[in-house]
Amino acid sequence: MAEVTRRNMLGWTALASVAGGAVALTANQAAAAAVKAATAQGPMTVSERARKRIQQQHLPNVPLVTHEGKQVRFYDDLVKGKIVTMNFFYTRCDEICPGVTANLAEVQKLLGADFGTKVQMYSLSLKPEEDDVETIRKYRETFHARDGWTFLTGKPEHMEEIRRGIGFKYPEPAIDKDKTQHIGNVRYGNEPLMLWAACPGLANAKYLAETISWMVRPDTNRIQKS
């Protein structure tokens, strides 16, 4: 049975009455109600606790905006229950970003029927103060991104929270602050199975597609042919 904390108890006993003038809950009734609420879904399994911990520490549920202007939540809408890839870019980058994005454009082809159905691809702006919805939409079109590849922007603090959460940071603060030296890796994973990895975004496109396909079929290294 889940532990009933003092906070739970106070939360229930604060509901002293309901519309129509019902009498206050007794202490015993409040305790029983708190126990029922705490145990309604049963205790979490070890895997459920681990998955929740990964989400809390690495996959913040912050609000973002897609290249279509749609409001979404990073974890709830984009990552939860899905197989995904994630990388960072900014549209005025003339160093690693164009190369990585072009490489991912090839990856989307190599993934074949899995792309957009079993695998979702996300590119997130490092400079959201410059990359508004219209800017990232046009940038996306430049690389002929297909359905299943979403470009995202948002508040700077939220983009930064995601970047740090998925581990794309340098230990040296001065380097980490310099956007021109940002990490060009691609993070990919199967969120329900808690399988996560990363590789260079400029790696051979066929190799990158193959490693992503392992998240779809962990027991094989085959990818579909485009």
CATH of the domain at 107: 3.40.30.10
Residue-wise pLDDT for 146-174, tens only, equals 999 999 999 999 999 999 999 999 888 88
Examine residue 226 and state whether it is found in any structural domain, yes or no: no
Examine residue 221 and state whether it is found in any structural domain, yes or no: no
Q: Which of 208, 191, 205 is nearest to 74 (CA)?
A: 191
Please tell me the predicted confidence (pLDDT) of residue 32: 46
Q: How far apart are CA 191 and CA 150, in angstroms?
A: 17
pLDDT greater than 50 at residue 30:
no
Examine residue 186 and state whether it is found in any structural domain, yes or no: yes
Examine residue 222 and state whether it is found in any structural domain, yes or no: no
**Are both 61 and 126 inside the same structural domain?**
yes
Examine residue 223 and state whether it is found in any structural domain, yes or no: no
The model's pTM is: 0.77
Please tell me the predicted confidence (pLDDT) of residue 42: 67
**Are both 63 and 94 inside the same structural domain?**
yes
**Are both 33 and 78 inside the same structural domain?**
no
Please tell me the predicted confidence (pLDDT) of residue 41: 57
Cα 137–143–146 angle (5° rounding)?
A: 75
pLDDT band per the 50, 70, 90 thresholds, residue 43: confident
pLDDT band per the 50, 70, 90 thresholds, residue 44: confident
Residue-wise pLDDT for 64-84, tens only, equals 999 999 999 999 999 999 999
The answer to whether 47 and 54 are in contact (CB under 8 A) is no
Please count the structural domains in the chain.
2
Examine residue 172 and state whether it is found in any structural domain, yes or no: yes
Please tell me the predicted confidence (pLDDT) of residue 19: 32
Residues 6 or more apart whose Cβ sits within 8 Å of residue 159: 64, 124, 125, 126, 128, 153
Please tell me the predicted confidence (pLDDT) of residue 2: 39
**Are both 142 and 183 inside the same structural domain?**
yes
pLDDT greater than 90 at residue 175:
no
Please tell me the predicted confidence (pLDDT) of residue 68: 97
pLDDT greater than 80 at residue 33:
no
Please tell me the predicted confidence (pLDDT) of residue 208: 96
Highest mean pLDDT range out of 11-25, 36-50, 100-114?
100-114
Examine residue 154 and state whether it is found in any structural domain, yes or no: yes
**Are both 58 and 113 inside the same structural domain?**
yes
Pairing of strands 149-153, 63-66: antiparallel
The whole domain housing 33 covers: 6-39
**Are both 87 and 160 inside the same structural domain?**
yes
> Quick one: what percent of the chain has pLDDT higher than 70?
78
Residue with tokens 């206050």: 24
**Are both 87 and 172 inside the same structural domain?**
yes
**Are both 33 and 53 inside the same structural domain?**
no
Residue with tokens 């895997």: 47
Examine residue 24 and state whether it is found in any structural domain, yes or no: yes
**Are both 195 and 146 inside the same structural domain?**
yes
**Are both 98 and 207 inside the same structural domain?**
yes
Please tell me the predicted confidence (pLDDT) of residue 5: 36
